[in-house]
Amino acid sequence: MTSYRKPRQAVHVVALAATMSVSMITYSAAYDTVPKQQSPLFVKAAGTSGATKSQENNATVFIQSMGDQVIKYISSSNADTTTRKEQLRGILLQNFDMNTISRFTLGVHWKSLNAEQQKEYQSLFENMIVSIYADKFSSYQGEKFEVTGASLTTDGDYSVTSNIVPLNGQKIPVKWRIRDKESTGTFKIVDVEIKDISMIITQRADFASTIQNNGGNAASILDSLREREKSTQ
């Protein structure tokens, strides 16, 4: 099991989330109705070299390719539910850094679990994600997905901007934070934001509330995930 690549950054985000109260939303332009709360995860780096441009292009291609994979998955298979879920799991693991995501979403409680519990947690977490998206994709109505650009962030990750385009309606902006973890040109997604709302921070808040409501017992998250898994089988 690999460790976090950027532990200091993770600590920073924990501190940010913990100290944020009900904050106000500001606007940079009268015609722009999208909240402008700049996440520290998506601060654009100053200056752009040729190599960076190339990597930004690769980042764009990576996310578009992932989107194409999902659309193809949704629209092509007639396989049974179990097979479909395994196909989806393959796409998920190919494109997402599930180790980093699962650890981040458990926050400080990760260290409270022993190695066996950590392993089970990551397996249950992965199953939850697969189950949720298998269900969601079954109600897909033809929304389009378009990638609009990419930029290097100050912490070395890439932020890829995109839109989900409904059949009739306003585009929904989605940002993907991706990382070349091993510096081999192989990207993995570590976070997704809808209108600047981070999915992994929201997920961590959800898990934190579950654990807090169970007396602060980190292992209770396993019970909740097991229960959820049983109810969806």
Partner 1 sequence: MKHLIAIFLAFSLLPYALPAQAASTTSEQQAAIQDMRKTTLDTLHKLEPAAKDEIEEAYGYAVFTSADIAAVFVSGGYGHGVSHNNRTGADTYMQMASAGVGIGIGAKDFSTVLVFSNEASYREFIQTGLDLSANIDLAAKQGSKGDAATGADGILPGVRIYQFTETGLLAQAMLKGTKFWPDQNLNN
Binding-site residue total for partner 1 (CB under 8 A)?
Answer: 68
> Applying CB under 8 A, does 170 fall inside the site for partner 1?
yes
Residue 230, both tokens: 């049983």
Q: Give CA–CA dist 118/98, Å, rounded.
A: 13
Q: Determine the 3-state secondary structure of 177 from DSSP.
A: strand
Nearer to partner 1, 24 or 51 (CB): 24
Q: In Å, what is the CA distance from 132 to each residue of 89, 127, 128?
A: 11, 9, 6
Q: Taking the complex as a whole, how short is the minimal distance between the CB of residue 203 and partner 1, in angstroms?
A: 6
Nearer to partner 1, 70 or 150 (CB): 70
Burial string for 49-70 (b: 16+ CB within 10 Å, else e) reads: eeeeeebbebbbebbeebbebb
Query: Which range, of 46-54, 111-119, 141-149, 179-187, touches partner 1 by CB under 8 A?
Result: 141-149
Query: Which range, of 51-59, 75-83, 150-158, 168-176, touches partner 1 by CB under 8 A?
Result: 168-176
Q: Give CA–CA dist 221/172, Å, rounded.
A: 31
Of 26, 183, 184, 233, which one interacts with partner 1 (CB under 8 A)? 26
Residue 11, both tokens: 């600590």
Residue 87, both tokens: 């196909």
Q: Are strands 158-165 and 144-152 parallel, antiparallel or unpaired?
A: antiparallel
Q: Taking the complex as a whole, how short is the minimal distance between the CB of residue 117 and partner 1, in angstroms?
A: 17
Residue 38, both tokens: 């700049």
Q: Determine the 3-state secondary structure of 43 from DSSP.
A: coil
Query: Which range, of 1-9, 41-49, 177-185, 190-198, touches partner 1 by CB under 8 A?
Result: 190-198
Q: Give CA–CA dist 161/147, Å, rounded.
A: 6
- Helices marked H in 42-158: 50-76, 81-95, 98-106, 115-138
Residue 68, both tokens: 């194409």
Nearer to partner 1, 79 or 197 (CB): 197
Q: Taking the complex as a whole, how short is the minimal distance between the CB of residue 197 and partner 1, in angstroms?
A: 4
Of 136, 148, 156, 186, which one interacts with partner 1 (CB under 8 A)? 136
Which residues in 73-132 contact partner 1 (CB under 8 A)? 92, 95-96, 128-129, 132
* Residues making contact with partner 1 (CB under 8 A): 16-18, 20-27, 30-33, 35, 37, 66-67, 70-71, 92, 95-96, 128-129, 132-133, 136-137, 139-141, 143-145, 164, 166-170, 172, 174, 189, 192-199, 201-210, 212-213, 224-225, 228
